[in-house]
Structure 1
Amino acid sequence: MQTAIGSHGTSPSFKDYIITGGQSDDDFKTLIEEYSKLNLNDVINRGGFPEGRKQSNSTFDLLIMNAVSSKDLEEFKLKCLGIIPLETNQKLYKLLKKAEEKYDNLIWLQNKSKIEKQLFELSKFEKTNVDIFNKIRTFYDSSWTSDIPFQVAIYPIPGVNGFSTATPHVNSLCVGVFTDEVDHASRNGVVLHEMCHILYREQKLSKQFDIEGYFNDNNTLYSKFAYSYLDEALATAIGNGWAYKLINNKLDEGEWYADATINAFAKVIYPMVEQYMQKGKSIDRDFINEASRLFAYNFPKAIQDYSILLNKTTVYADDMTEIEIVNKLGDYFQVYSLNLSSPILHKYSFEFMENSKDTQLFIIHKNQQQTLLELKKKFTQIDNYKFANQPMNLSFFDSKGRAVIVLVVNNKEEIKPELLKMKKQSFFDIKQPLQY
């Protein structure tokens, strides 16, 4: 159902398969519409972590973890008590009960034997993965212990190719597997990639503060972006690079990750990752210094690259939810960390503007003139620009050296077209704030 509504982190090719298969089924269309109205994603923030490693879970992560560990919908419903409001839980159960029959007819009954074969092939890596896990845990200096299980849940995507996804949720790794794929070693690399994200997230608190300190000591714009890409690049270098080589006795010569920056960064830090793995070393100051240097050398235009700037951002918007913004941005950009402050002109938002070190993204779709006037008091770089009822992108560096992006549109419907323009433009012009 998440795939059917095009949620962030799902496969667009799997969505096409689902929508095409159900296009003549009006009941299914109604199910999708009703499901899309459910709020399953409230953010749970935790304190006490370094600024760059602010931790949050979502109720959706807990729902997925419970789904993976439940034998049926009835057990799932009971496990979700207290996570979401009871009324939402009741609606979710009823919708999934109806959707189950649709799913069986459209996907499961036709592909059951194929996905069971995929599970059999992937299970052959289990013993090797335990040894690999211990090495990765040492590298990250993670607090995760062997007595806490990882649950790997695979689900079928009919066919042999397309766009597959995998996502970590607490201790559950959800992995989309093509029913007819044959490169099981690569798929196992994806499983280990997702495991890396969890081990990075659960690093010992002292290690998290150490790593942030090493990046801060570099004190460059490039080191800041290297930090924001570290999690994904490490997971790729380890899962899709080092672990793949360990199992196959050779590196995967193809692309390791769909995002060009992450793919390239993972490959340039790979030799260092392999060296640390071989020596049983954990991430240290030397590792972070070299990762920062490599990022600056290989991505000289990173500081004006929208795809990199939006990797970690603070967003200011009126009448928009965090998940709504994540879904819009996620269609065009890789979003690793996002904080939302709303409304834009609230005192808490001004505190964020003063203290946040991330990229500052303003999405103004109402009260445009008043909001822009107030922002000019904070950012003198945009003094000369006025909103003339046409979408406007103002991108610049402020006095603190932060990238600031101000999107002014007439309504919410114009937001995604503006994001698409940014995606196509790639880099903003540092000589003038008005980009087009």
Structure 2
Amino acid sequence: MKQKFFALFFLLSFFAFGQKINFNIKYSEQLAVFVFIQNLSDHYPENVFKTEFNQSKYNTQKYKDLISNFDKLPIDYSYSFDEYPYGSKIPMQTRDILKKNLIETNNLSDFKLRSIGILPNATIHSLAEVISVFTPIYNELIYIPNKEKFEAQLKAMSTYSGEKNMESYFQTGLIFYNSSWDPTIPFEIALYPLPNSTGFTAQAFYNNFISAVQTNLRDYKDLFSVMLHETYHILYDEQSLTVKNDIAQNFKKNPSKHSNYAYQLMNESLATALGNGYVYESLNGKAETDHWYNSKYIDLMAKKIYPMVKEYIAQKKPMDKNFIDTYIRLYEENFPGWINELDHIMTYRYILSENKKDFNTIGQMYPARSSEEAETEISMLTIEKMKKTPLTKIIIVSQNNNETLKLIKSQFKELKQWKFTPDKEFQYKILLDDKSQLLIINQQKSSLQTLFANFK
């Protein structure tokens, strides 16, 4: 059985490297309307869709109620791939599967048929009804006024993609990540207009890339480099279990105390070096001299590893142990203080607090979030679950302080010599043997913001 499995894997890899992957650029009305309704939600910040709707004749209680009902639809479920190293594979998300089905079907009847089994039928029916009601509204307010410009853009972008051989960058990523792809599965690029805007959005999942494109966009190298950035996340995600285990072990066995946080940063750093670095430079003729990414940690690390990434691409080599060891060394030598910077280590966090409001407070203080788990119980069980992850571990103690602090001390061997005063506020930070930081906050009267600000 194992022999058959490996034979199939190598067969897929062979065909993926040897055959062209088709990039299909299209407009999906169904997806555009779905995103339009999302953006009208009270939970979304101000945006061009909300502005156009609020100024229109459709801004009535009837349609507001439909938007509210859409918000309440239970369409967000997920499951993890637990056999993979923690955080190395994106959990399945039902919302993304629904968007995929909206892109790949031509009408709502087909969408409902394709989506049966993902959610209860009643939920799928309600979702389709809301999309149906808002389709003419979206067309009147957004699509028709921008139709001529957008359709010309769509044609120009398709031509640009062909002239620049965008599929070749996909192949480059396959080799570099030592990943695989079935060439019979096309990569679907769904675009929709974004009027009165100076920027575009980007998201990729499964075999899809979606983007709202500003209607005055004429230079496409930024859009396509970002598109490939997001696509490289998919290729990283599609690495085999064997490849992912090898990568995780190479990081784990590296003696550097920085290796864990270097690992946490790797996915975004690689996608940025490849997409915003290599692809952009290839399309533009020279590298971008400004920021490649709006996080300093990702931006600086991507630029630091870029020469090595280019060397591997030129040699058509997949990332290997030598690449990982060099990557960790570059992180350690150039950014030795990062493992103590909260803006960095709080991007990957596991929070235990009996006060649920603390989760929102931390989200406001540290909005950058790549991985997050949270529990409202501090117990042997939840601490044990936390210890199994490579994330930054935050425990906020605000009641039964003495007993809870004793429990925490008993669960971490690194705290054997730790001494604390339970009736006095304090913050304590220690690098654990798994190379993740443990942050303990003993709260009495001060705000969480004040206590975090006092971390050294």
Q: TM-score, normalised by structure 1?
A: 0.81
Report deviation, 1:318.
6.5
Report deviation, 1:284.
Answer: 1.0
**1:380-401 superposed Cα distances (whole Å, 9 cap, x missing partner):** 66943559xxxx9946226545
Q: Which runs of 5+ in 1 are unaligned?
A: 411-416, 431-436
Q: Choose which of 87, 93, 101 in structure 2 pairs with 1:58.
A: 93
Letter paired with 2:255? N
In the TM superposition, residue 232 of structure 1 has moved relative to its aligned partner by 0.9
Q: Deviations over 1:299-335 (max 9, x none)?
A: 23211222321332234466979xx979983895332
Contact 1:332 1:419 (C-alpha < 8 Å) held by counterparts: no
Does residue 397 of structure 1 match 2:419?
no
Corresponding residue for 1:21? 52
Q: Which residue of 2 aligns with 1:360?
A: 393
Residues 54 and 160 from structure 1, CA distance in 2 versus in 1: closer, same or farther, beyond 3 angstroms? closer
Question: Counterparts of 2:157 and 2:91 in 1: how far apart (Å)?
Answer: 31
Read off the aligned partner of 2:289 and give its amino acid letter. Answer: E
Q: Contact 1:376/1:383 (CA < 8 Å) preserved in 2?
A: no
Aligned-partner residue type, residue 340 of structure 2? Q
AA aligned to 1:374 is T
Once residues 325 and 106 of structure 1 are traced to their aligned partners in structure 2, the CA distance between those partners, rounded to angstroms, is 38
**What's the counterpart of residue 172 of structure 2?**
135
Q: Which amino acid aligns with 2:190?
A: A
CA distance in 2, matches of 1:309, 1:103: 41
Partner residue, 2:39: 3
Q: Does 1:150 align with 2:150?
A: no
Superposed, 1:21-100 pairs within 5 Å as 21-23=52-54, 25-27=59-61, 28-100=63-135
- Please show how residues 183-332 of structure 1 align to structure 2 within 5 Å: 183-316=219-352, 329=363, 332=366
Distance apart, 1:83 and its partner CA: 0.9
Change (3 A) 1:418 1:174: farther
Q: Considering Cα pairs closer than 8 Å and 6+ residues apart, tell me whether 1 or 2 has the greater RCO.
A: 2
Q: For 2:182, give the aligned amino acid.
A: T
Q: Which amino acid aligns with 1:270?
A: Y
Alpha-carbon separation, structure 1, partners of 2:295 and 2:326: 22
- Classify the secondary structure of the residue corresponding to 1:250: coil
**Which of 404, 419, 423 is matched with 1:374 structurally?**
404
- Equivalent pair of 1:382/1:394 in contact (CA under 8 Å): no
* 1:118 CA displacement: 2.3
* 3-state DSSP of counterpart to 1:256: coil
Q: 1:356 to 1:77 in 2, by over 3 A?
A: same
**What is residue 455 of structure 2 aligned with on the other side?**
429
Alpha-carbon shift at residue 278 of structure 1 (Å): 0.8
Asked whether the 8 Å contact 1:23–1:29 carries over to 2, the reply is no
Instruction: Give 1:246 shift.
Output: 1.7
Question: d(CA) in 1 for partners of 2:237 and 2:161?
Answer: 22
1:413 is aligned to none
Which of 146, 149, 162 is equivalent to 1:111? Answer: 146
Contact 2:280 2:287 in 1 (8 A): yes
Confirm or deny: 8 A CA contact 1:64 1:169 kept in the other structure: no
Question: 1:419 & 1:73 partners in 2: Cα distance?
Answer: 47
Look up the equivalent residue of 1:37 and give its one-letter code: K
Name 2:377's counterpart in structure 1: 344
Identical pairs, percent: 28
**Bigger Rg, which one:** 2
Between the two proteins, the alignment pairs up a number of residues equal to 405
The residue correspondences of 1:154-173 to structure 2 (distance < 5 A) are 154-162=191-199, 164-173=200-209
| SS at structure 2 position matched to 1:63 | helix
Match of 2:16 in 1: none
Partner of 1:51, secondary structure, is: coil
Q: Tell me the alpha carbon deviations over residues 363-394 of structure 1, each in whole angstroms, 9 at most, x when there is no partner.
A: 78xxx51488425521466943559xxxx994
Amino acid at match of 1:301: G
- Assess if the C-alpha contact under 8 Å between 2:427 and 2:451 holds in 1: no
